[in-house]
């Protein structure tokens, strides 16, 4: 009998969260260093794009948004180790749910502000009322 079967559990019986020691060996220092290098590079490119005159000015916000999304992807993959593997289904679903909540909050805020703007009294009428 193996040591795992003597202690009352098998190697396949691992509760969620107990695999941290095994994952620590699977995600070595190399993956963290690669992620750090990519994150630093994207940050430097973002500052370069924001401060240079070599980039077409109307494209700067779009470029910064693309770089920010890439930065989030690097953090999710290299630091949080969220991948699309079968063992990470709960992590991916939690991330998708979080993104859905943020999008709903953002859309609701825009809808409320547009509705308030539409229902506000025109400035000329406000000025006439103050006289």
pLDDT at 26 over 80: no
Is 14 in the same domain as 71?
yes
pLDDT at 24 over 60: no
Whether 11 and 74 share a structural domain: yes
Instruction: Provide the domain limits for residue 110.
Output: 86-131
**123 vs 1, 115, 131, CA distance in Å?**
84, 16, 13
d(CA 31, CA 29): 6
Instruction: Say yes or no: 48 and 107 in one domain.
Output: no
pTM above 0.85, yes or no: no
- Same domain for 42 and 90: no
How many domains, in total, are found in the chain? 2
| Same domain (yes/no): 96, 64 | no
Residues 56 and 114 grouped into a single domain: no
Per-residue confidence band for 1, with pLDDT thresholds at 50, 70 and 90 = very low
- Do residues 4 and 11 lie in contact, with contact meaning Cβ atoms separated by under 8 Å? yes
Please identify, among 40, 63, 81, the residue that sits at the C-terminal boundary of a domain.
81
Positive or negative, the CA dihedral 57, 60, 61, 62 is positive
Average pLDDT over residues 84-112: 89
Candidate from 18-27, 55-64, 122-131 with smallest mean pLDDT: 18-27
Q: What mean pLDDT comes out for the span 103-117?
A: 94
What is the greatest pairwise CA distance in the chain? 94
- Residue 62 shares a structural domain with residue 28: yes
Q: Indicate if 23 and 54 belong to the same structural domain.
A: yes
96 and 75 in one domain? no
pLDDT value for 22:
54
Number of Cα atoms under 13 Å in the Cβ half of residue 49: 19
In this structure, the answer to whether residues 5 and 46 fall within a common structural domain is yes
């Amino acid at each position: 009998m193996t040591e795992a079967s003597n202690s009352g559990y098998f190697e396949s019986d691992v509760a969620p969260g107990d695999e941290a020691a095994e994952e620590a060996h699977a995600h070595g220092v190399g993956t963290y260093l690669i992620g750090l290098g990519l994150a630093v590079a994207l940050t430097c490119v973002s500052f370069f794009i924001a401060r240079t005159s070599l980039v077409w000015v109307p494209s700067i916000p779009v470029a910064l948004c693309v770089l920010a999304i890439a930065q989030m992807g690097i953090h999710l993959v290299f630091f949080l180790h969220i991948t699309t593997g079968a063992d990470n289904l709960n992590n991916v679903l939690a991330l998708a749910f979080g993104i859905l909540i943020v999008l709903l909050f953002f859309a609701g805020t825009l809808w409320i502000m547009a509705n308030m703007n539409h229902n506000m009294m025109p400035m000329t009428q406000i000025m006439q009322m103050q006289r």
